[in-house]
Each structure stands twice: as C-alpha cells, then as structure tokens.
Amino acid sequence: MPEWTSFRYEGNDLGLTYTRAASTFKLWAPTAQRVYILVFDDEGHYNEDGKVQDHENGQEHALTRDADGIWSLKLSGDWAGHYYMYRIIHDNQRIEVVVDPYARAVTANGQRTAIIDPETTNPFDWDLDVKPAFLRPVDAVLYELHVRDFSSDPHADIPYKGKYLAFTASGLTDRAGNSIGVDHLAELGVTHVHLLPVADYQTVNELAATEVGSNVRAPYNWGYDPQHYNVPEGSYATDPRDPAVRIRELKSLVQSLHRQGIRVVLDVVYNHTYSVAEGPFERIVPGYYYRYREDGTLSNGSGVGNELATERPMVRKYILDSLRYWAEEYHVDGFRFDLMALIDTETMNELTRELREQIDPAFLIYGEPWMGGDSPLDRKTLKGTQRGQGFAVFNDHFRSAIKGDSDGSGRGFVTGAGGQEYELIRGLAGALDDFTSSPVEVVNYVTAHDNLNLWDKIATTMNLRHELGFPVWKDGQPVGGGSAESAVKAADPYRYVDADDVLNHEMVRRSLLSSGILLTSQGIPFLHSGDEMLRSKAGDHNSYRSGDTVNAITWANKSRFRPVFDYYRGLIHLRRTHPAFRMIDAEQVRNHLRVIRADGNVVAFILQDGANQDTWNQIMVIYNGTEHEQHVDLREGDWHVVVNDHQAGTDVIETVRGTVQVERWSLMVLYDTEHAGGAEPSTVEISFPRQVYSPKETTQLRAIVRDSIGNVVEKAPVTWTSSDPDIIQIQPNGTIHALERGEASITVQCGDITASCMLQVDYRHAERIEIVGEPVMYMTRISRFRALVLDQFGQPLQDSNVRWSSSHPELAAVSAAGIVRAMTPGVTHIIAEAGGIRATLAVTIHKQISRTVTLRYEREDQHYEGWDVWVWGTGMEDGAVRLEQVGNAAEARFRVAPGLHHLGLIIRLNEWEAKDTCGDRYVDIVPEDGDVHIIVRSGSDEMQIIRESEKTEDRNSA
C-alpha cells in the first residue's frame, strides 16, 4: 500500500464551514500537487441531459496544504448564494474539477457545490422537533417505504405527489372516509418509517422529475446508486434547482412523522458508489477509497462494479462523519445499511457506539449481512458478527422458511411446503439457536423492496401468474412489447378475491399468516409498505426503475381491502401492547417460550409466566400452514381468543376450553388469565451515556417510565430541568448542551414522580490506553488492533489521535490505522500512544500453517450437476467453490488462512436457485486443527467434522 495511505485527519471540519463573516474550505487530498477552489455566481449552464460541463468561469483561489494532506482556504465575507468546485492537479498533471465530497448542498443533479446559510434550511419550529418516545429495538415495528411510491398514485387526493412534502399533508381521506397518506401510517401503528435511500443519487435527472404520475416513463429509481452522500435527493423536492429547498423539505418530512409519533430510519448505501470515474472520491485521491483485488482490479462484492474500502481510516471517517451529520442535522432516528457485509466489522462497531453514546441511546441500526459477490475484505459484517455489538441483521433464514425463495415458485411454510417447522421455531425465537445472542439483534421480514412482494410471491407459488395477467418483466418493461402502463392495466391481481368476503380467500389468508408470524415473533418486525392493502406490482420482481405505474401504492385498496388493514392494525396493536412479544435477552426467551407442537405444518407455542412482565399470564400462539382446519389441545382452564382468522387485536373474541379449532392458513392468539397492572406511571429513571462531558458537547438523555409491574409506559409525558443552565442546558426532548466547567443536577418529572442524576462538565484528557488485538498471529495475517483511550474519569475518548508503532517492525508492521501485518516469527510489542500516554501489547508471530478444508457432499440421488459450495470467512478467497464428483459423492477443496477460527458455507444449486436444508452452516476451526474434512449429507443439518491434528471427529448442528 502506498506511503500516502498513512495520512489521516481527526478534525470534524472537512468540507465547508460557513458563517456570515467567512467561509472556510478543507479538502483531504494528500496526493494532489495543487488544489484550487473555483467560485461561481450561478449554477452553470445545463445541457439536455441535465449536466453542467463548463466550469471555466469561476473565481480561482489557491488552497494551502498541511502535513496531514489537508488543503484549506478561508474566504472572508458572506458567500451564501454562490457555488464552488475544486480544481485538483495531480502529479501527472492530470486536472480534475470536482464537487466537494463533503458537500451538504448542491445544485440540480449535483453539478456544483452550493454555499448556503444553514439557518435558511430549517422549517418552522424545527428547534422544537421532539423524537417520539422509544426504548428498545424490539419495540420497533418497521415500515419500509419509497418516498415517491407513497404519494404518486394519480387517483389519490394527495398533494405534492412524489415529494417529501407529501408526508406533511395530514387529514387526508379517500371517498369512503378512510385515512390515507401520513395519517394512514399513524392509524396502522408502526413506530418507524424506513425510507429507501434519500441521499442524492445519480440515475434520475432531477430537472425532468417534475410531473410525477403524468408520464409512466418519468425518471424513477430506488436510489441505490449514490452520488453525494450528505445531500438529499433533489427529485423529491419541489424545486431541485434551489439547494436549500430539498434540505428544508426533507426536514419537514421528519418533523411531520415525529409529530405523528413515528420515528424515521434512512436506508444508506456506504458499500459502493454508482460510478468510480465520475463518483465523489476517485478523482480526489486516486486508488484510496475503493477496494482492490491482488491483481489490481476493482473488487465487486456489491455486484455493481466497485466497493468502498471502509476499513481504511479516511473512508471510515467519511462514513462516521456522514452518519453523524444526518443524525444531528436531520434528526433521523436510525440507519439501515445496504449490503452491510461489505462494511468491515470495526466500522460497524464504531459507528454503533458513536451513534448510541453521542446522539441517541435508542438509535436503531440494522442492515443486510450479505454481499452481492465475492470480496477480499477480511472482517465482513456477516450474520453472527453482530453478537453483542448493538446492531441488528436481517434474518433471511426465517424469511425463506415462511415464504420459500424470493422470486420463483419455491415454497415455504405459508405457501405449501412441508418440513419447515424447525426453521420457523428458530426464527420466531429470535434466531438464538442460529446466529444471535439476543432478539434485539435480528430483523424479521418476509418481503422488502427487492424481489417479488408478498402478494405476487404467493400468486407465483400458486401458479396464478398467467391467470392474473402478470407479464414477464425486464428492465421495467414487459417482455414482448407494450408499455408498463398497459401491462399493469391488463393485469388483475385480485381476480379471485370476493370483495364481500375478503378474509376467506386463500391468498389473503396466506398473506395475513405470513405477516402474523412476523408480528408475533421475537425480534424486530419489518413490513413492506402496502402489504396491509395487498399491494401488487403485477409480478415485477425487480422494480427499481419500473416507474410509478408499477410502484405507486394504490390507495383505493385501503377501502377495497379494509378488513386486511384492520387485521394488520390489530396485530401491531397486540404486539405493542404486550411485552411478551418483545423479549430483550436470550434468558427471557429460553425461560418463557415453550413449543407445544411442531408437526404437520402446524406450529404452536406458549409465552408463559407473564413473559417480560406481561399482564397476560400465558399466551398461546398457533400457526396453521395447512389447507384444513386443525385442532390444538389447550392447557387447562379458560382461554381467551384475541386473534383468529377474521379478527386481530387485544379484545376478546371468544372464550374456549380443552381444544381449539384453528382455521386453514391462519394464526390464532389466546391468553388464559390477566393480572392487575396498568399504564399508570410508577417509576422513572434517567438513562445517560456517561457522567462527564466536555464544554460544547451535546448528547441525548432518555427517560424510562415504568408502571407498577415494571412495564415501560410508552409516550409518557415528561419534563426536564437543569439545576444550573449556565453549566448544562437541557431541551424538552432530553438533549443536553454542556457549556462550561462545573456540575449540574438533571431532573426528569413524570406527573408526581421524579428522578435526578448529577452530571459534570470538564475538559477531558487521555489518562490510560487499552489495546485490543490478537496476542497470537500467523505470518501474512493482517489484523486491525483497536486502542481504547480512556480519560481521567475512566470514560472513552472518541476522537483521540492514536499513533501506532511496533517495537520490531521487521516482525510485525503496524499502520497509522492500527492495522498489523505479521511477517516473521518472533515476539514484538505493538505500541499505541495518545496525548502523552503509552500502552503496549505483546504479540507472538508463528510460522504460517498451510491448511486445506475438504468438503464431501453426499446425495442419495447422486445428482451433483449445478451444485457448488459458497464459502466466506476463509481469510483467503471467499465465494463459489466447485463440487467435483468423486465416486458416489462430490468434493470441494479450498484453503483457509492461518489463524482462522471459524468459517461459513452454503451448499447451493445453480447460483442460488436452491440451498441444501437450512442454508448457512458454520464451522469452528482453530490453527491447531491442521487440515479439516467436512462431510455433509443432503437433507441433514448435521456436519461430520474430522480434524487432522487430533484424528478426531465431531458432529456440528448447522
């Protein structure tokens, strides 16, 4: 790696710092020979493609470089209303004119960086915006939504179609009086709206996206093609040419949802950029921001041509700075990470700590623990790496067990497949026996924006696509000619649904059972927008650019399928009312969840003994995935039914004894007795990240209000006060501002109940360093070490500038980012220094041990064509390994890195057409094992593992 990669910067002022007195510009470009800023009076001249190609008429000012590779310039005066670009001259005299990578405001289509006064971007009463009360991740009900889909229905009376401001229009109804728009979300009862990417993306011409819904070929995209990471997408703004409008209108969206009691999660895409050559990074620091293979080619674990090298210090810093900006400036409440496996675990752990400790203890963080291809990244954020780290991952095992595959006719529990009971139980118990250490670490879902949505998937498994008029789709258009509009109009997805008896239709019942499983399982439930109204996309499985005709939510379906909406609303109310469905740790689940039946496509379990301090003593949940009614025996006594095949909620429908009949393709929820307890506040406590804060520091406190039996009282009104506002100010939402040295008592009051904590403001300095890293490494091993810098109060210092060194760099070298490379056997000391404090960690380097894993796969039918092994965590080269037939079996061989402790594998058919049994398998393997042989028999979850070092074998349940 070139020497310049050791340059790094710890400051928080990259990009533009604006005041009315001066504007300061800072750019990290350590390899540049010269950097100039070009200041313009206007946005430039746009061509027919919405691009500005002439940047020659700007005022030119030279920037000055410091030792850290930072180029800076301060321009006196008020520059608001101007625009700028950087002109960078590299050592080969190549000249690049680029937008500021830290830009927070841009012109239409991101052609120039805009200088604006941040005060002009706040909507009215923005400083009074209050985050809705929220405590734990499992208390969330997530609702995934695309900004444009929400309001682009041409037949719905929603203003600002396709725009951020559509979320600010309240009081809207359809002709039957049903709420639509933002009031619909509040009525449904979801806690978080998860917005598909709203950061500026590249493939939509913002100047053409003005009349949403009027043209089926109007520009449309999901937004997973990032261009400017810190700027809102302009096509959702009423005026994309005014740089302040998109900022103000996105803030208005957040403010409106907060007023409805709904938090906001942003979908973020820090794993790749749409383009490398025309993207935000490569032209500034060539070769640094992207991940490369050993042959010098770009790695493509994203499937779109590139990956960001998140493990590098300044890439990691960029991501952390960006996330913090969105959280603080836009008041958002969570992030969902696209292809999170391509983000290294250290970055994920660090950003989780920072957001939780410095922004909001209830900040929600989750993502996709998989990739779109192979990657050389060592520490991928895969399923299992989230254990104990504070963030959650999607559970695709549970998803597949419920519905089957994502795009084909493969079936699951609710779509007609047998033998899914075990996988269903693993999922509904929070994946504790799979890859989590607690239910707060798993997001349960059936469908999302990707792949077939729920209604269309059910239609596909029932072989109804042709009868319902679904075309074959490709690139947003029907194959064989015709427009998307005519194809959607010709399709009849609800052809067989009787409007007077909606809940008796088999497809409807399967749909409700799918979501009912999610909402009664341990973990974080995730719903795709429109499922509560039987949304269909006419069978389009990849509608990322299919336009409004395919993607728009059809609001008329709320009235048409009102019983379906009411059922969803009832299930959400049940979940949010009863904490038994929201247990927070493994011990609770193992003590209180008892499976009483799991056979014949019927699963029944009990949440017993007032689980998680629930007022219901025993709650029985039954899933019937068969085409016939099923009879299930009850424990003795009366049982009160609150969910059956026609109604859901907390009201008692009927009382039964002995045996209960559960109708086909449905779920049932019952409870036996209820003990006293209510929502009256009994206690209040203050949750705060630490005791001592630096002057000018800001953080969020949280009030936890409980009733007499210990249940959390949601949305209980509280007031905050500070004993000395000159030392610590506190806002109505619990945000504190540390001002000057001293102590202040912070008090929260809920009715007559109060709680207080003493907080201190002082200048903090480093006093002790703890090094976290591998004390034993093998030659060629690369590992990131972490230095925990503690202040004089024993608290972590987040922004410490740590300097790394090695006592014997010929044995193990360490980079400025703490990345240690083991080279020669021996003992060295890795040294970390910060603020005059020094710590060392002895590291022993061993010779490299060459190891091979041989996987033997046995099938009764001996049909091995198309089967291979997908491996990850090898430390060498992850990805597909071919299975070669050897006699009656097939074998695959792959090398694993020295020092490896575990790896994962999947046996799959024809590029994910099918997976053998449970899918993901994990193997514990330590350096002393030498070569390892694994024997897998088709249809069995067990693996026979033979370790060469001890000539022993064990059995490992996958």
Q: Is domain 766-846 given the CATH code 2.60.40.1080 in the classification?
A: yes
Q: Which helix (H) or strand (E) holds 506?
A: helix 506-519
pLDDT in tens, 639-649: 999 999 999 99
The string of DSSP letters for 36-59 reads EEEEESS---B-TTS-B----SSE
Check residue 260 and give its pLDDT: 95
Tokens of 366: 């989750």
Query: Where is average pLDDT lowest: 179-193, 217-231, 330-344, 699-713?
Result: 699-713
Distance, CA of 431 to CA of 395 (rounded, Å) = 8
pLDDT in tens, 607-656: 999 999 999 999 999 999 999 999 999 999 999 999 999 999 999 999 99
Check residue 270 and give its pLDDT: 98
pLDDT in tens, 19-63: 999 999 999 999 999 999 999 999 999 999 999 999 999 999 999
CA 922 centroid distance within chain:
23
Check residue 951 and give its pLDDT: 55
Distance, CA of 714 to CA of 56 (rounded, Å) = 57
For residue 82, pLDDT over 90 is answered with: yes
pLDDT in tens, 489-546: 999 999 999 999 999 999 999 999 999 999 999 999 999 999 999 999 999 999 998 8
Distance, CA of 853 to CA of 922 (rounded, Å) = 13
Q: Which helix (H) or strand (E) holds 639?
A: strand 639-643
660 with 653: CB under 8 angstroms? no
Sketch the domain layout of the chain as residue ranges: 3-121, 137-573, 592-671, 683-761, 766-846, 851-957
Check residue 259 and give its pLDDT: 95
pLDDT in tens, 551-590: 999 999 999 999 999 999 999 999 999 999 999 999 999 9
Q: Is 123 in a helix, a strand, or coil? A: coil
Closest by CA to 178, choosing from 558, 571, 565, is 558
Distance, CA of 88 to CA of 112 (rounded, Å) = 15
3-state secondary structure string across 621-632: EEEECCCCCEEE
Q: Looking at the DSSP assignment, which residues form a beta bridge with residue 544?
A: none
Closest by CA to 270, choosing from 363, 347, 174, is 347
As a whole number, the mean pLDDT across the chain is 92
Share above pLDDT 70 across residues of the chain, in percent, rounded to a whole number = 95
Strands (E) across 149-225 are located at 192-195, 199-201
CA 622 centroid distance within chain:
30
Distance, CA of 557 to CA of 494 (rounded, Å) = 10
Architecture of domain 3-121: Sandwich (2.60)
Kindly state the average pLDDT of the residues 2-21.
Answer: 83
pLDDT in tens, 709-743: 667 777 788 999 999 999 999 999 899 999 999 99
For residue 6, pLDDT over 90 is answered with: no
Closest by CA to 623, choosing from 505, 510, 504, 517, is 517
pLDDT in tens, 804-837: 999 999 999 998 878 898 899 999 999 999 988 9
Q: Looking at the DSSP assignment, which residues form a beta bridge with residue 903?
A: 923
3-state secondary structure string across 316-352: HHHHHHHHHHHHHHCCCCEEEECCHHHCEHHHHHHHH
Distance, CA of 802 to CA of 815 (rounded, Å) = 11
Check residue 218 and give its pLDDT: 55
The pairing of beta strand 753-761 with beta strand 692-693: parallel
pLDDT in tens, 246-290: 999 999 999 999 999 999 999 999 999 999 999 999 999 999 999
Q: Looking at the DSSP assignment, which residues form a beta bridge with residue 365?
A: 335
Check residue 212 and give its pLDDT: 45
Closest by CA to 69, choosing from 108, 35, 41, 101, is 35
pLDDT in tens, 886-899: 999 999 999 887 76
Closest by CA to 349, choosing from 319, 306, 314, 308, is 319
For residue 911, pLDDT over 80 is answered with: no
139 with 439: CB under 8 angstroms? no
Distance, CA of 808 to CA of 826 (rounded, Å) = 9
Query: Which of 2.60.40.1110, 2.10.60.10, 3.30.70.2190, 3.40.190.80 is the CATH number of 851-957?
Result: 2.60.40.1110
Architecture of domain 137-573: Alpha-Beta Barrel (3.20)
The residue with tokens 């229905």 is 153
Tokens of 829: 């000391």
Q: What confidence tier does 464 reach under pLDDT thresholds 50, 70, 90?
A: very high
Check residue 657 and give its pLDDT: 97
For residue 388, pLDDT over 70 is answered with: yes
Distance, CA of 719 to CA of 736 (rounded, Å) = 13
138, 414, 705 from 702: Cα distances, Å: 17, 40, 10
For residue 77, pLDDT over 90 is answered with: yes
Distance, CA of 813 to CA of 442 (rounded, Å) = 38
For residue 210, pLDDT over 80 is answered with: no
> Which residues, in sequence order, are CB contacts of 280 under 8 Å at separation 6+?
98, 99, 101, 227, 228, 229, 273
CATH superfamily of the domain spanning 592-671: Golgi alpha-mannosidase II (2.60.40.1180)
Distance, CA of 918 to CA of 397 (rounded, Å) = 7
For residue 764, pLDDT over 80 is answered with: yes
The residue with tokens 């689940």 is 589
For residue 216, pLDDT over 60 is answered with: no
Tokens of 855: 């996987």
Q: Is 184 in a helix, a strand, or coil? A: helix
Equal fold, 137-573 vs 851-957: no
pLDDT in tens, 653-702: 999 999 999 999 999 999 999 986 556 788 899 988 889 999 988 888 98
Architecture of domain 683-761: Sandwich (2.60)
Check residue 950 and give its pLDDT: 57
What is the distance in angstroms between the CA of the first residue and the CA of the last residue of the chain? 39
Backbone angles phi, psi at 415, to 5 degrees: -115, 15
User: Residues of 131-151 as b/e, b for ≥16 C-beta within 10 angstroms?
Assistant: bbbbbbbbbbbbbbbbbbbbb
User: Residues of 718-739 as b/e, b for ≥16 C-beta within 10 angstroms?
Assistant: bebebeeeebbebbebbbbbbb
DSSP secondary structure letter of residue 612? G
Strands (E) across 802-875 are located at 803-806, 812-814, 819-822, 826-834, 837-846, 851-858, 867-872
Residues labelled catalytic: 338, 368
pLDDT in tens, 915-957: 787 567 878 877 666 788 999 999 887 889 888 765 544 444 3
